[in-house]
Amino acid sequence: MSKTDYDVVVIGGGPSGASAAFDLAKQNYRVLLIERAFRIKPCGGAIPPCLIDEFEIPEELLVARIRSARMISPTEKTVDMPVGNTFVGMVDRDQFDPWLRQRAVDAGAELRIGAFKALYYDDQGVVHINYQSKESGRESVTVTSRSVIGADGARSAVARQAVPCSKDLRWVLAYHEIVEAPDNANDRYDGDRCDVWYQGELSPDFYAWVFPHGKHASIGVGSEADSFSARQSVALLRTKTGLDTCQTVRREGAPIPMKPLKRWDDGKGVLLAGDAAGVVAPASGEGIYYAMLGGRIAAQTMDQFLQVGDTKILGRARRQFMSLHGKTFWALGLLQRIWYRSDKRREKFVSMCNDKDVQELTWQAYTQKQLVKKRKTAHLRVALKDLGQLMGLSRAS
């Protein structure tokens, strides 16, 4: 192959792209990280303890430590789910993402601000990447690379050009408002508790949330419905929670994918990661951990590809990710389809969250990112209770 400007061009500087750029730069690859505009994505900001350990996230980036979650039903019955002897970390994306990008730069990656426009291969198999620079008069810049990692979000321009099945990507619209948090905790807002609202008037097919961010709070909602007004929903939620008088710091909206794509590479030299590959957990909408893991797997896969040159290696990224978390994504997708369909079912779903087995298995799966295989009887009990609720054999409390 001809000499290129870079070994890898990573397009998109969010958690997935920044993680991939960091891992590859540490291995002395020539890495270019192109970030569009440092835009802050709407995000509850929750990260599990395993992410903090696996990706060596410093404690100072945590703006809150969540000790419980409160589930609110359509009739506003509440179920509190204590986390136990661990916690859920909260980060603010306007601090978290820049830190991840700077870590990649410190490892040796080059960071440029620009909007990706196009890519093509020449006769020698070199990838030419064109982007519009936002650092030097919006000029058009073209660089060459041996490979590309597309981590540019749910409506990925890289995916649209290189991976045809990306047109089938399903997504929900997520919108939140960051507000100044109340000075004192009360029954409607607690800085150590995440509140999840399962009400059709707030979201017909997903949920709404109030997540503490230290001095701030994220008030948000998601939905796939075309007629849905996220701004009106958040305004209603702020009224319900008494947060309508809090000062608004910023507003953000973006699409969030709900199902992994069937293919993540073009069979030549392009590999997708993060939201571009569709790796956000159904039902929960959790994305940061899966994005960073996807970025790491993309980096590992690209390392193998660059060493060997066999394009079949690129397919390993999706297979590895789905081997680790495919069953979880399938189960969460089924949960969303069954329990988010109506307020009647949402009421039963929140009632199920009052069960000790459900709470323990939920938090173990979230904080450890793996099923606890030793507790097979507990899994069976949860499955039977779930079936009983669905068939109307159990009464919502």
pLDDT per residue, tens digit, the chain (397 aa), is 569 999 999 999 999 999 999 999 999 999 999 999 867 777 788 999 999 999 999 999 999 999 999 999 999 999 999 998 889 999 999 899 999 999 999 999 999 999 999 999 999 999 999 999 988 777 999 999 999 999 999 999 999 999 998 888 878 889 999 999 998 766 789 999 999 999 999 999 999 999 999 899 999 999 988 888 999 999 999 999 999 999 999 999 888 898 899 999 999 999 999 999 999 988 888 889 999 999 999 999 999 999 999 999 999 999 999 999 998 888 888 888 889 989 999 999 999 899 888 888 888 878 777 655 445 444 444 444 444 444 444 444 4
**Contact (Cβ atoms closer than 8 angstroms) between residue 297 and residue 289:** no
How does pLDDT run across 122-131, given as a tens digit for each residue?
Answer: 999 999 999 9
Nearest to 145 by CA among 16, 294, 24: 24
Burial group, residue 168, by CB count within 10 angstroms (0-12, 13-18, 19+): exposed
**Contact (Cβ atoms closer than 8 angstroms) between residue 170 and residue 224:** yes
Handedness of CA 137, 142, 147, 152 (dihedral sign): positive
SS3 271: strand
How does pLDDT run across 283-336, given as a tens digit for each residue?
Answer: 888 889 999 999 999 999 999 999 999 999 999 999 999 999 998 888 888 888
283 alpha carbon, distance to own chain's centre: 12
Cα–Cα distance, 367 to 52 (Å, whole number): 10
Cα–Cα distance, 102 to 122 (Å, whole number): 32
190: β partners: none
Please give the DSSP secondary-structure letter assigned to residue 39.
Answer: P
Label residue 106 left, alpha or beta by phi (over 0 means left) and psi (-120 to 50 means alpha). alpha
Domains of the chain: 6-42+93-169+258-329 (3.50.50.60), 59-92+170-256 (3.30.9.10), 341-390 (no CATH)
**Contact (Cβ atoms closer than 8 angstroms) between residue 250 and residue 257:** no
How does pLDDT run across 179-222, given as a tens digit for each residue?
Answer: 999 987 667 899 999 999 999 999 999 999 999 998 999 999 99
